[in-house]
Amino acid sequence: MQNLLHNLNPEQLAAVTLPAQPALILAGAGSGKTRVLTTRIAWLIQTGQVSPGGILAVTFTNKAAKEMMTRLSAMMPINTRGMWIGTFHGLCNRLLRAHYRDAALPQTFQILDSQDQLSMIKRLLKANNIDDEKYPPRTLMYFINGAKDNGLRAHDVEAFDDYNRKMVELYEIYDQQCQREGVVDFAELLLRTYELLSRNQPLREHYQSRFKHILVDEFQDTNNLQYNWLKLMAGTQGAVFAVGDDDQSIYAFRGANVGNMAAFEREFKVENLIKLEQNYRSHGHILDTANTLISNNTKRLGKNLHTDAGHGEQVRIYEATSDLQEAQWIIEETKSLIAEGGTRSEIAVLYRSNAQSRVIEHALFSAGIPYRVYGGQRYFERAEVKHAIAYLQLMDNLHNDSAFLRVVNFPTRGIGARSLEQLQDAAKQYDISLYAAVPYVAGKAGSSLGAFIKMIEGARFESQHLPLPEMVQVVLDASGLITHYQNEREGADRVENLEQLVSAATLFVSEEGFGHDAPALLGPKSEQMAGPAIATQDGIEVLDADAPLPTVMSPLSAFLSHASLEAGDNQAQAGQDALQLMTVHSAKGLEFDAVFITGLEEGLFPHENSQKEEGGVEEERRLMYVAITRAKRRLYISFSQTRMLHGQTRYNMKSRFFDEMPEESLKWLLPKVQQQKHHWYAHPKAAWEDALGAGSNKIAQAITKIDIGWRIGESVAHAKFGEGVIVNIEGSGGSARAHINFGKHGMKLLDLSIAKLDKMPG
């Protein structure tokens, strides 16, 4: 017994040895919650309070369930295979298999994954002659799953208008189809189990009697149906041991309800609330930053992380002038960490939005640094980006059959397998490309294919003299990709990724030396070669290293080659030491020696969408808390004055979160034009010379001409536009004008001689 408990701290020990009553364990980041859960199970079994078969332990991932069983096996000689430890969906599947008749299911019912579910919905719409543009299959799938996650069948869903009524009707048809085929989707597993236990009292009482001890991991991530399911399983006598952290509730977009923790404490009349606040992961300055930030959230259950590891190093803050400079800074700091003996796999770069990874990936690729995108795909490998690239490939080469097949019916245009079969037969018969074979296809199939060709040729004509970035935008608009993903419930990230393709093209033409106005489909201005590209050396033809390439690619062709190279050749191999890139959401549950949190700007982190939703900013703050607490030894936070997003340069204000961090834990890095919450030095010339070196003389001279009482980086207030930051100043004296970022009111150009501006304190 003592061996089981001897390494626990006082709070962990108190939690593990609680009596058989409802308990809520507030487990802070890095506080050993998995250890507490597994030790609690082992202690209950070892003290004879419950048999292994009387334990019900619920996790949110299969990985967590396997880890729990592995640790239990190491603690005591026990066969974990018969224990009920698993995810909500896994446990519901197990229960439904045992009681399939009572659940009105066939014994061999099958489970639809998300792709299977989407395919079924597409078949259903086609069979019922439903316009899939008006009722997109993926939108209907989200509607159905959302209703089920809230415990609602079709007849329970309130219909507000004709469109909603039709969605409800389709939900009903979908349910009937699933029942006929003997299949269930993921959401159905939980709902069907809940309904079974609700109406079948003997069965419900059987499981309530069996599972006297119910342990729940990551309780803050439960949705309404999961919480109600737990209440049914527990009854009035069950001892629910709920472990979670309301400060790490970051999945509201998936239906998670952070209020379930407070509801549990109230409804179960919890007398035992224990806070695990000792952190075994991070140094003091990192924890102080996290604690101070999250204290700005209201309605917290409340806790304060602490550590015995000492203060450690301060959190490093860096302000870049652009996202490119931010990425380069990450590379330089990473090289320093490696030189000190660190490994790339222990360094993580976190970002709020997937679209941010493009610039970082490009910089890493250019520097030859291997990296791995965790929980997602590299930018140029993402499905939506590959679709857009395929359209561009078709624009570049109309006879590219692979690109043609990828996009001819995406987004859907009513061009099915039979139509493509006719097209391929014609191409084979005349030995021509699919594009060239379209006129040989008759009937409805020919009309649909002809409309696609007309769209491609129209976009090609419209963009034939446009620069590459503008051509990319034309293709995104004409293809319908943007509209398609805008209709998806979780399509915002995909739209951002597509819009970032315009930014990628802008950066590419700049770096590769193509003229800014060079037409995408034509060669660059340097098309005339300066000399022969092929020279003879000892009778062998070799490429002259100083001569231009013998064939000059158009900006579009060059960009497509670049995209292919970035997508493939620099892939980190399995087992290779590689930098870790991921969104903050993907980082939850992980830890690293060094962490970079990038893009801490208003509108990006916190995200602009959070302003529109009740509690949105608080969830963003919890997300930042999660990001901070991933770091063990070193934490870097960066933001940029300008960022290329959606093909346009965006001027940014620093995130409000900086004002919610303790100054004593922060270290503002060079360039020294930003000190004390990134305000400029009193002497801008000295600041620029110090930060940028002797090469900054021209900039410094320009700054000294601005003798007007205002400085770049200064916070101001305007009666109409509110608070803003000066991002640039033109001219001097009485003719000076300032570019000021007023956040939600956007960028304004104001005449400083007449604008009524007030300086903000600080």
Known catalytic residue: 33?
Answer: yes
* DSSP H or E segment with residue 540: strand 540-543
Q: Are 355 and 493 in contact (CB under 8 A)?
A: yes
Question: Distance (Å, rounded) from C-alpha 758 to C-alpha 715?
Answer: 9
217 close to 33: Cβ distance less than 8 angstroms? yes
Both structure tokens of 269: 């009349």
Tell me the C-alpha to C-alpha distance, in Å, between residue 742 and each of 602, 652, 721, 723, 758.
11, 9, 6, 6, 13
34 is catalytic: yes
Tell me which residue of 732, 665, 54, 759 sits closest to 740, measured CA to CA. Answer: 759
Q: Is 603 helix (H, G, I), strand (E, B) or coil?
A: strand
Neighbouring C-beta atoms of residue 277, cutoff 10 Å: 18
281 alpha-carbon distance from chain centroid: 24
Q: Which of 34, 377, 571, 675 is catalytic?
A: 34
Q: ∠265-268-274 over CA atoms, to 5°?
A: 45
* Measured distance CA(677)–CA(158) in Å, rounded: 50
Catalytic residue among 630, 643, 650, 654: 630
Q: Which residues contact 533 (CB under 8 A, 6 or more apart)?
A: 543, 544, 547, 548, 549, 550
E-strand spans in 121-280? 183-185, 213-216, 239-244, 272-276
Using N-to-C axis directions, what is the helix angle for 555-568 and 468-479, rounded to 10°? 70
- Catalytic, 217? Answer yes
248 is catalytic: yes
Question: Which residue out of 248, 473, 642, 674 is catalytically annotated?
Answer: 248
User: Catalytic residue among 149, 185, 188, 218, which?
Assistant: 218
Give the active site residue among 149, 185, 188, 217: 217
Closest CA to 93 of 106, 111, 79: 111
Q: Residues 533, 536, 537, 539: what is their CA dihedral angle, to the nearest 10 degrees?
A: 150
3-state secondary structure of 619: helix
For residue 186, how many C-alpha atoms fall within 13 Å in the half-sphere facing its CB? 16
Q: 551, 567 in Cβ contact below 8 A? A: no
Asked about 192 being catalytic, the answer comes back as no
The set of catalytic residues is 33-34, 217-218, 248, 630
